[in-house]
Amino acid sequence: MNRGTCKHFNGTWHNQKCLAGVCYADVTPDSEDRMGIAFRIPCKTIEGDEYDQLNDGQKANYDRRGKCDKYEEPSGDEISAHRKRIEEAMQRHMKTLPLIAKVKKEQEGCDWQGIVACPVCNGKLHLSHAAYNSHVWGRCETKNCLSWME
């Protein structure tokens, strides 16, 4: 959450609607054409030097971007609270790094699933390791604790 981005924006990759319930396709010109759509959605504003740095194609897309009655800039307090939540989540995930490294070393070349003590809350942390790329996925049973996938 930042200035210049609507506080209802939740990303268009996995979401068809924003947090205010507006369908992105309904407020974005030529929404079926994915090329340049990031500049045509009305959820972000670009001004001054940032606009000047766009190439001609990006400017053309931005200049015909859609309009949305629900666009709302986040307040300073909302931005601060969002950043605090992100920082807290990062601190929780930093505690998993030694565990992830251990699993990758011990399970190298193997598919594996297991349950270990969560390094954040000491609850049950479900893990899986993929042999083909050595990625570790995890999810703690404690609500709002840990959940990630590489």
Distance CA 40, CA 25 (A): 10
Q: What local confidence, expressed as pLDDT, does residue 37 receive? A: 87
Q: What local confidence, expressed as pLDDT, does residue 13 receive? A: 81
**Same domain (yes/no): 68, 105:** no
**Same domain (yes/no): 47, 3:** yes
pLDDT digits (tens, 9 = 90+) for 71-117: 999 999 999 999 999 999 999 999 999 999 999 999 999 999 999 99
Judged by DSSP in three states, 2 sits in coil
Q: How many domains does the chain have?
A: 2
**Same domain (yes/no): 4, 52:** yes
Q: What local confidence, expressed as pLDDT, does residue 12 receive? A: 86
pLDDT digits (tens, 9 = 90+) for 40-75: 999 999 988 999 999 999 999 999 999 999 999 999
Assess if residue 33 is contained within a domain: yes
**Same domain (yes/no): 11, 65:** yes
Residue of higher predicted confidence among 84 and 34? 84
Q: What local confidence, expressed as pLDDT, does residue 54 receive? A: 94
Q: Which residues pair with 20 in a beta bridge?
A: none
**Same domain (yes/no): 4, 69:** yes
Residue type, 111: D
**Same domain (yes/no): 47, 100:** no
Judged by DSSP in three states, 40 sits in helix
